[in-house]
Amino acid sequence: GERRRRRAAAAAKAAAAAGDGDDAASAVSASAMEVELPEGAGEEEREALEAALALSMQPGAAVAAEGAAGPGLPGDFRGNYELFGVVTHKGREADGGHYMGWVKQEGGRGDPSDKWFVFDDADVSETTEEEVMKLKGGGDWHMAYLTFYRYKN
């Protein structure tokens, strides 16, 4: 109920705060946590997450299909985006479980020391990109619920 919504909002706020004011971030909602995945679907989900790390809106890219730019954007809109935040849900039911935030902190322009952090209520700890790649759900594991992207040139 209300507690779950507050936790999701707090995790989304933490992810949005990780980007600076010049970043164009978009949040994409996923309701996949309500879907029971068939056995062997894990590889497809992993490939989808790998593709999600770098979102391209260039000609020829799958997301650049007609109308993919979204409402309010010109059809020829182009850009490269990187994943910098994820809100996850862990649990078998939508009205129960636990929400967490996963945020990428930039090391600075050209600095390869980008780090990922996981926000679990009041506990914050460093994690790896590999762990973020595992946010595909299944059983009692975390399912990406909201994803946040920022413009990258």
Are the beta carbons of 75 and 66 closer than 8 angstroms? yes
Are the beta carbons of 84 and 114 closer than 8 angstroms? no
Number of structural domains in the chain: 1
Q: β-pairing, 80-90 with 98-105?
A: antiparallel
Query: 81 falls in which pLDDT band (50, 70, 90)?
Result: confident
Q: What is the pLDDT of residue 3?
A: 53
The phi and psi torsions of 85 (rounded to 5 degrees) equal -160, 145
Looking at per-residue pLDDT, the higher value among 138 and 42 belongs to 138
Tens digits of residue pLDDT in 22-54 = 333 333 333 332 333 344 555 555 566 565 666
What domain range is 85 assigned to?
2-151
Among 29, 89, 80, 18, residue whose Cα is nearest residue 55: 80
Region 115-133 average pLDDT:
93
